[in-house]
Amino acid sequence: MMKGKFIVFEGIDGSGKTTQLKLLGDQLQQQGLPVLYTREPGGTRIGDAIRGILLNPAHSELVPRAEALLYAAARAQHVAQVVKPALASGTIVLCDRFLDSSLAYQGFGRGMDIGLLESINEPATDGLVPDLTIILSFFTGDGIDRIKRSGRPIDRIEREAGTFHMRVGAGYLTLAQRDPGRYSIINANRSEEWVHNDIMAALEGVLGEISQRNNRA
């Protein structure tokens, strides 16, 4: 069976990642393609337990290095238990956050060394690189406002100051410059429909490969 595709959604909190991921998945499933939705931190029983530690506002004393290591631990479990098996079976994996979140949040946001974070995450990712990373570029203050309007509690990371989230947003754009061919930066300060249309356009190459493989099968 064909190898699947690994598509990751990145962006600051409140940028609309979850909404756009679901819109994309629905459209792919309508085309008869196998899709798996997943997220980081989480996606596994152990990963969800680590997520509870990381996002709990009561854990304000968590230091950046411990935070980074916990994210990497959850990622290692996620890659081994969920992502790689799904890709091996030919499934399109749509993931809400991956390695770039650690580089953007703990690196640009917390000020940790990017090289150190990449070293920490090397065994966690086990060599896995997304086929495409979609970065939703969104105004910082609007993202937190969206979360507040949703009525759900604000987590530990979301409670950080606006300047922190601004550094994270800028960090994503810097990361994309390192490998432009693997990233697509989408302006998320527009309607859900416009954003979705741009995402579908960005995916043409990836989806074209899948169609060619299906035709040869």
Of 22, 45, 53, residue with least CA distance to 157: 53
Written as six digits, the tokens of 54 are 């990381």
The share of the chain scoring above pLDDT 90, in percent, equals: 82
Least confident of 9-13, 14-18, 118-122, 142-146: 142-146
What is the mean predicted confidence (pLDDT) over 181-195? Answer: 96
Q: Rounded CA gap, 113 and 108, in Å?
A: 8
Q: Say whether pLDDT at 144 is over 90.
A: no
**Class of domain 6-216 (CATH, top level):** alpha beta
Confidence band, pLDDT 50/70/90 cuts, at residue 199 = very high
Confidence band, pLDDT 50/70/90 cuts, at residue 142 = low
* Amino acid in the structure at residue 27: Q
- Exposure on the CB side of residue 4, measured as CA atoms within 13 A: 23
pLDDT of residue 152: 81
Confidence band, pLDDT 50/70/90 cuts, at residue 153 = confident
Q: Say whether pLDDT at 1 is over 50.
A: no
What is the mean predicted confidence (pLDDT) over 105-128? Answer: 98
pLDDT, one tens digit per residue, over 26-81 is 999 999 999 999 999 999 999 999 999 999 999 999 999 999 999 999 999 999 99
47 in Cβ contact with 40 (< 8 Å): yes
What is the mean predicted confidence (pLDDT) over 184-209? Answer: 92
26 in Cβ contact with 128 (< 8 Å): no
Alpha-carbon Rg of the chain, whole angstroms?
17
pLDDT of residue 212: 63
pLDDT of residue 205: 84
Confidence band, pLDDT 50/70/90 cuts, at residue 209 = confident
147 burial class (0-12, 13-18, 19+ CB within 10 angstroms)?
A: middle
3-state DSSP of the chain: CCCCCEEEEEECCCCCHHHHHHHHHHHHHHCCCCEEEEECCCCCHHHHHHHHHHHCCCCCCCCHHHHHHHHHHHHHHHHHHHHHHHHHCCCEEEEECCHHHHHHHHHHHCCCCHHHHHHHHHHHHCCCCCCEEEEEECCHHHHHHHHHHHCCCCCCCCCCCHHHHHHHHHHHHHHHHHCHHHEEEEECCCCHHHHHHHHHHHCHHHHHHHHHHHHHC
What is the mean predicted confidence (pLDDT) over 103-117? Answer: 98
Q: Say whether pLDDT at 198 is over 50.
A: yes
pLDDT of residue 217: 55
